[in-house]
Amino acid sequence: QSAIDIFAAHGISFYKSNNNRIKGWYSVKEWLKPVPDTDGVCRPRLRIFKNCIHLIRTLPALRFDDKNANDVANHPHELTHAPDALRGFTASVHIPYTPEIDAVPSHQDFDTENDYSDFINYGT
């Protein structure tokens, strides 16, 4: 019997996850993006606990792929296992839609002088 057969015999089913790497990394970013929580405080939808020591160690150490800036490098390989597991999880689970959180703000909701200055260079 295969491992999948043994798990299935005990009521645990598996399905193949989406292995589109780019889509998966975008999904990780969406899950980690801070959004207003039920109490109005911005927090990520996915929280990583302190006992996830390998993910905490390896996720920030990933490097961009030299050939594709939307992907991460496969080297050093020992850093990729925990982040790839996270990528597989986030790619297979849909973020629940919350109208209050996911509503697109109008341009009137932004103070362009303050809201964009940290990440847009206006050439001033």
pLDDT tens across 10-26, in order?
998 877 777 889 999 99
Structure tokens at 60: 């920030």
Long-range CB contacts for residues 76-83, cutoff 8 Å, separation at least 24: 81/54, 82/52, 82/54, 82/55, 82/58, 83/28, 83/55, 83/58, 83/59
> Any idea of the CA torsion for 87, 56, 49, 42, to the nearest 10 degrees?
-80
Q: What is the pLDDT of residue 68?
A: 92
pLDDT tens across 49-104, in order?
999 999 999 999 999 999 998 999 999 999 999 999 999 888 888 776 665 555 55
Q: What is the CA radius of gyration of the chain?
A: 19
pTM above 0.75, yes or no: no
| pLDDT band for position 119 (cuts 50, 70, 90) | very low
